[in-house]
Amino acid sequence: MKKNLIMDKNYLSYWLRQIRKTMSLIAPMRLKNADIVFKQVDNIHEIELDCPASLPSPKEFLLPQKEYMFRFSKNSVDVLKDCTKRLIFGVRSCDISAIDLMDRFFGEKFVDEYYMSRRENTVFISIVCNNPDPTCFCIGLGTGPFLKSNFDIQLTDLGDRYLVETGSKQGADLIRGYSHLFSRPKKSDYDDQYEVILSSQSKFEKRISLENTRQKILNEKINDLFWDWIARRCFECGGCVYACPVCTCFNVVDRMEQEGDGYRFRIWDACMFKGFTRMAGNVWPAEKKGSRIKQRYFHKLLYYPDHFGRFGCVGCGRCTITCPGHVDMATIAHRIDVGDRRRR
């Protein structure tokens, strides 16, 4: 399955144009207000590759912010699954690592057919980050700036050409039929890739070990005063959750259109919201903001490693960009790590 090739950069546009004839092409693009978003590509030259992290992350194509599930009437139920074939191009390594976690969350114990239907029809081409953002810390988590496995196709920008690594059957299918665009890599190409990766690794400004943070939570019993202090800085906007490529929580809503007819949809939800854990009978297990924040971090730093063998964070840095209260994953991990006095 694993196959490495070289492609001259001049061929990229042609290759994508051909693929676009058989599936929808999604890639990062810069809006007029300078935001980077993943959207359907009309003009291939508008794709932005060496750019800051997109907001939102490409997870929205697998778990949309609002997704119609089915229409219902008195006599029938019409399931609305999305089976659109998509290529999502130019995805960061951390976001591919996040999708790998979502695949396990939605595909292992309880299979979510809506997610799986999108996932089975989506193929990703990721790219090694040559210039990580100042907010990135994937390097401490092994989720970037490049991947050793679990990708469909990974590109490394070697200046005038790409090293193209194929890691799955879906990736190999994108190459098939275009052998005239590719050549076999030479030793010098691998040497150049090694240089690119070393250079990228040296540019990281944040070096965070979430394992240290986890151990401190486990062993030092962080006091609730610490979480209450974080809570005073949290505006409960939900930005950290919505921006996070790993977060998967959603709410389900039924809407009636006329008597007996209606539809069900799901929308992203956020564990930071007060109503998130409210149950029938007005029982409120996490009514205090501090306890909700603690639950979020325990979920990502304790629950995920216990159940998936990995943290529920890929170090993308989006919560650092988004949080108006400056209480993001990197900041909280750092405060726990340096022994914030509010821990006791």
Binding footprint of ligand SF4 on the chain (CB under 6 A): 234-240, 243-246, 272, 313-319, 322-325, 327-329
Which has the closest alpha carbon to 59: 309, 318, 294, 330? 318
Q: Which is nearer to ligand SF4, 193 or 295 (CB)?
A: 295
Q: Which residue shows structure tokens 């999502």?
A: 88
Which has the closest alpha carbon to 30: 62, 3, 54? 54
Q: Which is nearer to ligand SF4, 178 or 284 (CB)?
A: 284
CA distances from 302 to 3, 70, 176, 307 (A): 36, 35, 42, 9
What DSSP character marks residue 47?
B
Q: Which is nearer to ligand SF4, 189 or 269 (CB)?
A: 269
Please spell the DSSP secondary structure of 321-335, one letter per residue.
Answer: HH-TTS--HHHHHHH
Q: Which is nearer to ligand SF4, 88 or 163 (CB)?
A: 88
Shortest Cβ distance from residue 118 to ligand SF4 (Å)? 20
Distance in angstroms (rounded) separating the CA atoms of residues 24 and 199 = 34
Q: Which is nearer to ligand SF4, 23 or 302 (CB)?
A: 302
Shortest Cβ distance from residue 68 to ligand SF4 (Å)? 26
Q: Which is nearer to ligand SF4, 88 or 332 (CB)?
A: 332
Shortest Cβ distance from residue 245 to ligand SF4 (Å)? 6
224: tokens are: 């609730």
Please spell the DSSP secondary structure of 152-167, one letter per residue.
Answer: SEEEEE-SSEEEEEE-
- State the number of CA atoms in the 13 A half-sphere of 202 facing the CB: 6
310: tokens are: 């990995």
Shortest Cβ distance from residue 317 to ligand SF4 (Å)? 5
Shortest Cβ distance from residue 233 to ligand SF4 (Å)? 7
Greatest Cα pair distance in the chain:
69
Shortest Cβ distance from residue 147 to ligand SF4 (Å)? 15
Please spell the DSSP secondary structure of 250-298, one letter per residue.
Answer: EEEEEEEEETTEEEEEEEE--TTSGGGG-BTTTB-TT-SHHHHHHHHHH
Q: Which is nearer to ligand SF4, 7 or 327 (CB)?
A: 327
What is the Cα 28 distance to its own chain's centre? 14
Q: Which is nearer to ligand SF4, 95 or 192 (CB)?
A: 95
72: tokens are: 């219902």
Shortest Cβ distance from residue 130 to ligand SF4 (Å)? 20
Shortest Cβ distance from residue 325 to ligand SF4 (Å)? 4
